[in-house]
């Protein structure tokens, strides 16, 4: 995916939408199962964080299709890995 220019204003709006989503019934249903979208781990619902599949800084939006529940482990991996390393991480999960 190409690097997109994302304005401060767009980032601000999408962060606000993410906050609204986290308060929605949709999100509560989403985390009720306690399953991480990425690794499939079963954790406490409160341990799940809202993650953008396509990050906001790369033009991702706070839509239901782009927001998933991720465990802390996957979330921190995603924050720290380069996109290509993150892909490798997901592939490894798929093989296990």
Q: Are 34 and 42 in contact (CB under 8 A)?
A: yes
Count of residues that bind Zn ion according to CB under 5 A: 6
Dihedrals phi, psi of 83, to nearest 5 degrees: -50, -40
Q: Is 38 in the site for Zn ion (CB under 5 A)?
A: yes
Q: Which is nearer to Zn ion, 18 or 39 (CB)?
A: 39
- Return the number of the residue (17 or 37) whose C-beta is nearest Zn ion: 37
83 close to 90: Cβ distance less than 8 angstroms: no
Provide the total of helices (H) and of strands (E) in the chain, helices listed first. 4, 2
The nearer residue to Zn ion, 10 or 49, going by C-beta atoms, is 49
3-class DSSP state of 7? coil
Asked whether position 36 contacts Zn ion by CB under 5 A, the answer is yes
Shortest distance, CB of residue 64 to Zn ion, whole angstroms?
19
Measured from the CB of residue 46, what is the shortest distance to Zn ion in angstroms? Answer: 15
């Amino acid at each position: 995916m190409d690097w997109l220019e994302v304005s401060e204003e767009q980032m601000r709006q999408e962060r606000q939408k993410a906050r609204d989503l986290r308060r929605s019934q949709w999100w509560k249903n989403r985390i009720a199962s306690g399953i991480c979208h990425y690794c499939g781990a079963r954790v406490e619902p409160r341990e799940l964080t809202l993650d953008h599949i396509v990050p906001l800084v790369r033009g991702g939006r706070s839509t239901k299709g782009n927001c998933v529940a991720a465990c802390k482990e996957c979330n921190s991996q995603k924050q720290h890995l380069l996109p290509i390393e993150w892909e490798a991480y997901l592939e490894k999960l798929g093989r296990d």
